[in-house]
Amino acid sequence: MSVNLSVTLAGIKLKNPVMPASGTFGAGREFSEFFDVGRLGAIVAKTVTLKPREGNMPPRICETTSGMLNSIGLQNEGLEYFLKHDLPYMRKFKIPIIVNIAGNTLEEYAQICRDLKGIEGVSAIELNISCPNIKAGGIAFGASSRLAEQVTAAARYNTDLPLIVKLTPNVYNISKIARAVVSAGADAVSLINTLVGMSIDINTFKPQLANYTGGLSGPAIKPVAVRMVWEVAQTVNVPIIGIGGIMTAEDAIEFFLAGATAVAIGTANFINPTAMIDIINGIERFLSERGLTDIRQLVGKVRL
Amino acid sequence: MFQVKADVISKEEISPGVFNLTLISPEISRSARPGQFVHVLCGDQNDRFLLRRPFSIHRVVPGRAFEILFQVVGSGTDELSRVKIHDALDVIGPLGNGFKYSPEIKSALLLAGGLGVAPLLFLAEELTENHVMFYAMLGAKTKTELLRYIDFKRLAKKTFAATEDGSFGHDGTVVALLNRTVHQLRPQVIYACGPEKMLQKISETAEDFGIDCQVSVEAKMACGIGACLGCTYATKRGFRLTCKDGPVFNGRDIMWGGSDVEQLPLDGYDYETAEITDSD
């Protein structure tokens, strides 16, 4: 029995619901040596900012119990370089390309959205709103529903492309933020970004990361992510991309049951470069073993 | 680069807590160059989440197998020390840029501190095959921690040893030994691997004497293939990836103490925003 894995997300048709999480896959160059990137549902590029960014000081990563901390600091070559070198490269995979963008002001988000207008191969824009808003005293856009709404509206006003907003879990009430971005025009939401954490070397008494704190990812955050996807799924009616510690197909299934239409894989790519292919195959097997024919038969089907 | 399931065909504890593993992989052993590394999955991921661990390629059996040398220092190496012969390990490699050398080199000096012998023995074997004359200098805290002395002695024109407690060879550090002997040996190029402080001092000496100096460094790594940008090393030309641009760098290019935040120039780095950015 054939299984239908295709889903529609913010108007984009994906042949399967599995994609990389932004920042864990670059533009796919490194991974293309391990598998056919064209087999993925979509490709999500590493966050691009208007101007190039050096990123944070090393050490930038540290392993923790069942996870890892990172503070890369959005190192990237800037939008101009991205459009000239990375985007043309990603186009050859012939799958939808989701461009993840970030800025330190509303104007920067707006500018990038304008610059992406009419560019061939961009299927959707994902807003990384975990960055600090310089004009609002450095509070992350995603940490306040007012700021999240503003940044989404600024992007919405400047693009006709499908708009995905990636939510940060470092908030008291993520449903409230989700509601705000959807009312401002988001076509989909992705969650969760990393949880802010810290780790200290007890031999040197120094933080493990030069940046002191970093984003926690990996299996450690999965239950938090599943809970947040489930809460947001109760609140808004746009598709959700579930992210957070997915290592296996079974992990991904949990997210579908909680209400995600698609999933993004991050840290697992570092452990096993072919993790996403294993997950796609595993989802297909899970469905056919249970006599299910369509991935949509799982979405939001948690029995309460 | 390849991702393979490599069978462990031998495992030896060559010194307390220091293991040598031989892994079968025709693909990796055929294309490996001295100074390159492999990224190894340690332990069973179902039991415990562990990132891969990078290890220098210690030696190759051409077209058949390669060896890694490691000391148990944490959870990854602890898991790895428990593998049994005939277990298969998930390995990605060969990765990174190795040591640069040409048959025209008249004389080289290989300098290792402790586990730093790991990439240098492979290099020593390659240099021997290419008829490049070289000296070796090995340093350790004590005689028991002095690794691969016999192997280098077999290959190098002359092999020096230095122990910090004086239990074998010269009394003192390998850096002190270098500073005493460099004007006599006059190598064209120095290849070094060991603790960062040692590499820094060797690079300074090399620069004083106008000797080309290539050092193999280490950094915490996640993906190992250049995607995550986690293993950056501060160089005078900006951040470089240890996994992709390194692990071998020219000693002159490295901004020593780069991982020590306080010592770095502040211009060019966006501290204010960096501290609150939580991801990617």
pLDDT, average across residues B59-73: 95
- Chain A with chain B: Cβ pairs closer than 8 A: 167
pLDDT in tens, B182-199: 888 899 999 999 999 999
Task: State whether A217 and B269 contact (CB < 8 Å).
Answer: no
Distances (CA, A) of B48 to A270, A272, B13, B45, B276: 15, 14, 24, 5, 30
Q: What is the pLDDT, as a whole number, of residue A134?
A: 65
Give the C-alpha separation, A67 to A61, whole Å: 11
* B222 contact residues in A (CB cutoff 8 A): 61, 68, 70, 267, 270
Q: What is the pLDDT, as a whole number, of residue A137?
A: 67
Domain termination site, one of B95, B117, B147: B95
pLDDT in tens, A72-85: 999 999 999 999 99
Domain termination site, one of B71, B95, B119: B95
Residue of B nearest to A60 (CA): B230
pLDDT over threshold 60, residue B273: no
pLDDT over threshold 90, residue A131: no
- Examine residue B189 and state whether it is found in any structural domain, yes or no: yes
Three-state DSSP class for residue B263: helix
- Which residues does A175 contact at the CB level (< 8 Å), separation at least 6? A231, A232, A234, A235, A236
Instruction: Determine what percent of chain A is predicted with pLDDT higher than 70.
Output: 98
- Say yes or no: B48 and B79 in one domain: yes
Min distance A108 CA to chain B CA atoms (Å): 15
Give the C-alpha separation, A84 to A81, whole Å: 5
Domain termination site, one of B209, B240, B268: B209
> Residue B247: beta bridge partners?
B97
Question: B48: pLDDT confidence band, cut at 50, 70 and 90?
Answer: confident
Residue B26 sits in which domain range? 2-95
- Say yes or no: B71 and B143 in one domain: no
Of A54, A67, A193, the CB nearest to B269: A54
Task: Return mean pLDDT, chain B.
Answer: 89
CATH architecture of the domain covering A7-53+74-198+215-297: Alpha-Beta Barrel (3.20)
- Examine residue B101 and state whether it is found in any structural domain, yes or no: no
- Examine residue B102 and state whether it is found in any structural domain, yes or no: no
- Examine residue B100 and state whether it is found in any structural domain, yes or no: no
| Domain residue extents for chain A | 7-53+74-198+215-297
- With beta carbons less than 8 A apart as the criterion, state whether A91 and A10 touch: no
Task: Return mean pLDDT, chain A.
Answer: 95
* Chain A residues 37-96 with CB within 8 Å of chain B: 46-47, 53-63, 65-68, 70-75
CATH number at residue B88: 2.40.30.10
* B274 contact residues in A (CB cutoff 8 A): 56-57, 71, 73, 211
* Residues of A forming the active site: 131
* B276 contact residues in A (CB cutoff 8 A): 132, 138-140
Please tell me the least confidently modeled range out of A1-5, B138-142, B252-256.
Answer: A1-5
- Examine residue B75 and state whether it is found in any structural domain, yes or no: yes
The total number of structural domains in chain B stands at 3
- Say yes or no: B199 and B258 in one domain: no
CATH number at residue B231: 2.10.240.10
**Can you tell me the ipTM of this complex?**
0.92
CATH number at residue B139: 3.40.50.80
Of B220, B238, B276, the CB nearest to A138: B276
Of A71, A132, A270, the CB nearest to B51: A270
